[in-house]
Structure 1
């Protein structure tokens, strides 16, 4: 079931989906259904172009990333017992530095987790995430990075089994039940993560990180609005989250 979800999710991302539509358009043209084929080709090309621009990518990400504000240490609240850092993709190559083996999302997540661990020296650091076919799991790499950055090993609890956020929420739930916890994950991923944890009956405080929809106060040159691969990647991150939320609604409906 997990592999099926991953496969379908990958097919429904903008680039493979729109390339598939383009191919279907070409086939229609070859079959002399020119109008239908041209419509598909133009739609796919225009969509791909728009998704590769900064305004569209940021417009897709902003509703997700602005749902929860950045974490600020409250002066009127008891310190947390646990800090949970959700897993992200890894490339466990021992020839690389530790931080280079983490994805951009993973690096942002563990950096925020370590920051909070230093802020709350009595809190336990719960690290999650499986290997995805790599030699080390996300949880194990997180633990190595955390220790290098000054976190004592006895404060670390690694959970290398969960393959997705739903499994992470299920496995973490009994560990934080009745305890104060902070949840660290990417800002765009936070709404879906909080929904899954709350569905398990636990209510951690959100600490989003790794924001992508960044705007500058200074004016941007016109060329920054041209289509670029990095903006398409940002659109894909948002698209992935919207697909995930749609899957949750569909699952809950049945």
Structure 2
């Protein structure tokens, strides 16, 4: 199982294991670490010069507490983590409360309440970051990856349209589809960029920097509708690259 690959990478990082222990022992209900910190670890180890914890911008901790939907609950949860280990940039969010603030912050229609962590993770905006991990009481890593861990492990950047609007997707991918990549036209809303790692050495390649990693595209790239099973994606370079995620 590919989840075993992710478990191995997580268990080999003393920093992440310590962070997972802090989260597990915090008393927060159904608490996990997910999103960017996990991506930074995997891509740093597989496609960079190693994982640098100091480059992690946020340690996203998700938990599920339907008894208190206030934003103060998030602040108290974050404070609890900081009190145990002050260095990481903790950011705790109660996924049971997302429906109370999501539309006001990001626009769009009211979203339905989330009842499980898996439901929450499944809505996160990129498949590579729609992954969370935690430690069980026996220090074993548990993985929550509703869309699977392939994009994360294979260095694929791909929008998850479950909750992100086509306009937001276009804004996210626009830097890679226009100003930083040769021989490309602007991506219309609802479309994504496809760049095949197998074709990385063909044509004239152009690179764009995203969080310190090299995203490579070639003349072979095409514009494709962003819907399964035709996967719109940007591959992180096929070989290990210098530089670390920022």
Common fold, TM-score beyond 0.5?
A: no
Structure of greater relative contact order (alpha carbons < 8 Å, 6+ residues apart): 1
Provide TM-score, normalisation by structure 2: 0.29
Provide TM-score, normalisation by structure 1: 0.29
Q: Which has the larger radius of gyration?
A: 1
**Greater strand share, 1 or 2?**
2
